[in-house]
Amino acid sequence: MAQKIFFRFFFIYLLLHVLSWPFFEGIPLLGLIDQGKNYVIDLAVSGFNNYVVHFQDELVPLNGSGDTSFGWVQLQLYLFLALLGTVVWSAIDSKRNSYYRADYYMKTTLRYFIACISFTYGSIKIVAMQMPFPSLSDMATPMGDFLPMRFSWHFIGYSTLYQVFSGIAEVLVGLLLLYRRTVTLGLFIGLGVYVNVMMINLAYDVPVKIFSTHMVIMCLYLLITDARRLLNFFILNRPAMQNVQYHFVPSKKSRKIFRWVSKGAFLAQSAFVFISVYGYYKEDLANAQKEVKPIPYGLYEVSTFVKNGDTLPVLANDSLAWKDFIFERGGWNYATVNSRDTLFKRQYGRGSFYYSADTLKNSLVCYKFNKGDSVYMFTLNYRLHNKDNVELWTKIKSDSIYINLTRSKRKFIMSQKQFHWLSEYNR
């Protein structure tokens, strides 16, 4: 009895989470399925918030964070639906002896879902794109100014080898879960991988706590349902029967066709993920190799700062002073300033801005958030004397600004990617 109730609850609860994943995002026409599904979910979550839980007056939708107020209300809604569904299902179907067929389809769905997620995130890590190597602006930012998540991102992004290793482990999980004889091994490795991910998210306040926790729950669920066989093998030193949980063979031809169509759709979706990741990798690699124009990539110290004709000292303890500029590479026309001036977008203690260069007029049209954004800041006129010296001047409101930049000779040890087999002392 308890086992059937357990099954009914997790059948509803976990499949709701699976169905919420945007499987077809970016795929022409099929993407409409995700749009329609998201519309229904938005209505349900908003209604549940407004009429039942009253979690927050206005929910913040899912964005780069999966732990927004919308995400937490969605979690509460799915728990409520699973509990309600379990009660209703138990009342109308109490005499059924087993759910063998439904159990097979549920477990197969979960293992393919875990495989899908493993392929997606693993492929991004294999090309070292999920956590990029710290930029020059990152290295010039004091460690204490970073939030825990960004600190952890730089920790992993620093080592391409570690990130690629993590990606290989995730892709291996996906491959093992595709073959019925290796599902158990895939789940054990997957549990290790996703417990590690979950703990990083919890320990460093990475806003993917809900999702990573559910990846662990799915791995545990599939392992727990195979507990007797695993207990015999690992603890009791008894013979373990063959795992037959994933060996259900549909009798009807239509079900067999559906099974092969589903497998084909999964493989097609996985191929789309790999092709998309490879495309992003090539684009990112091309951007990284682009020469930064018109002002060369690097760190520039502010040697002279003149405001309305008065030369102002660049004091280290003046948080609003513009102390240095960093022009980043990567094809995004992005720069940061060592200042807490609210004129700029704040990024971990530094100000940042995007710019559009006009080489005919020798000017940089600067925006607060991204190129072409409506939040226009100012236009910097520039003059390049050589690769080590740049003059900038502009007018901000009623103030005229003149800046002389000199390329800094400062070298960041982190950028050298040091490795030593022999270390005579603790570094």
**Cα(210)–Cα(212) distance, integer angstroms:** 6
pLDDT at 254 exceeding the cut of 90:
no
- pLDDT, greater one: 54 or 279: 54
pLDDT digits (tens, 9 = 90+) for 62-99: 998 999 999 999 999 999 999 999 999 999 988 888 88
Q: What is the pLDDT of residue 373?
A: 59
**Cα(36)–Cα(104) distance, integer angstroms:** 28
- DSSP-derived secondary structure for 209-270: HHHHHHHHHHHHHHHHTTHHHHHHHHTS--------TT----SSHHHHHHHHHHHHHHHHHH
Q: pLDDT band at 255, cuts 50/70/90?
A: low
From residue 202, give the alpha-carbon distance in Å to each of 130, 146, 172: 18, 17, 24
**Strongest mean pLDDT among 340-349, 372-381, 402-411, 413-422:** 402-411
- pLDDT, greater one: 11 or 270: 11
**Cα(333)–Cα(293) distance, integer angstroms:** 8
What mean pLDDT is predicted for residues 123-144?
Answer: 93
What mean pLDDT is predicted for residues 409-419?
Answer: 84
**Cα(116)–Cα(347) distance, integer angstroms:** 33
pLDDT at 372 exceeding the cut of 60:
no
pLDDT > 90: percent of the chain: 61
What mean pLDDT is predicted for residues 396-417?
Answer: 90
Q: What is the pLDDT of residue 248?
A: 67
Cα-trace Rg, the chain: 27
**Cα(412)–Cα(155) distance, integer angstroms:** 15
pLDDT > 70: percent of the chain: 97
**Cα(217)–Cα(220) distance, integer angstroms:** 5
Q: What is the pLDDT of residue 333?
A: 87
Q: Is 298 left (phi over 0), alpha (psi -120 to 50) or beta?
A: left
**Cα(7)–Cα(104) distance, integer angstroms:** 12
What mean pLDDT is predicted for residues 155-173?
Answer: 95
Q: What is the pLDDT of residue 2?
A: 84
What are the start-end ranges of the H helices in 140-208?
148-158, 160-178, 183-203
If you search the block for the tokens 């920790």, which residue do you land on?
155
Q: Domains along the chain? A: 2-285 (no CATH), 298-413 (2.40.128)
Q: What is the pLDDT of residue 30?
A: 80
Cβ atoms 198, 191 nearer than 8 A: no
| Nearest by Cα to 413 from 427, 395, 397 | 427
**Cα(122)–Cα(114) distance, integer angstroms:** 11
Q: What is the pLDDT of residue 293?
A: 81
What mean pLDDT is predicted for residues 3-32?
Answer: 90
pTM over 0.75, yes/no: yes
If DSSP codes are grouped into helix, strand and coil, which group holds residue 322? coil
pLDDT digits (tens, 9 = 90+) for 201-225: 999 999 999 999 999 999 999 999 8
pLDDT digits (tens, 9 = 90+) for 307-332: 999 999 888 778 888 999 999 987 77
